[in-house]
Amino acid sequence: MKVILSDLFDKIPEQQFDIIAINPPYYQKQPVTAKDYAWFCGENGEYFSMLFAGLEGYIHTSTEIIMVLFEDCNMEMITGLAANNGFVLNCVHSKKNMLEKNFIFKIEKAK
């Protein structure tokens, strides 16, 4: 395994991956500190805009893209940004614990 510190795809040479697993920041607030980037996706979901705009250069027809989200995410914003870039999110699993409900989505090219 090779670990690369990168802001999304900035430092990752364009290449095709078989699996992309994403545990994104999903609170809509502008990150200020380095630690904030783990939690905040920007006021208008800038993280997701960059994610969906950049995915095309890292996938092939069989790439599995999996993303974890939770019930308080702005799903309308996230699915809208995905659709703007030709992707759809399909929920493949959900689980509720004492604090929250989590979802696993498979991201696929729109047909």
Q: Does residue 6 lie in a domain region?
A: no
Q: Does residue 36 lie in a domain region?
A: yes
Q: How confident is the model at residue 5 (pLDDT cuts 50, 70, 90)?
A: confident
Look at residue 2 in the predicted model and tell me its pLDDT: 82
| 77, two tokens | 């914003």
- Segment 31-90, tens digit of pLDDT: 999 999 999 999 999 999 999 999 999 999 999 999 999 999 999 999 999 999 999 999
Q: Does residue 9 lie in a domain region?
A: no
Q: Does residue 4 lie in a domain region?
A: no
Tell me the C-alpha distance between 35 and 22, whole Å.
17
Label residues 53-67 b or e (16+ Cβ within 10 Å = b): eebeebbeeebebeb
pTM summary value: 0.91
Look at residue 29 in the predicted model and tell me its pLDDT: 96
**CATH for 74:** 3.40.50.150
Number of domains present in the structure of the chain: 1
Range of the domain at 66: 19-109
Q: Does residue 8 lie in a domain region?
A: no
The H or E element containing residue 53 is: helix 46-54
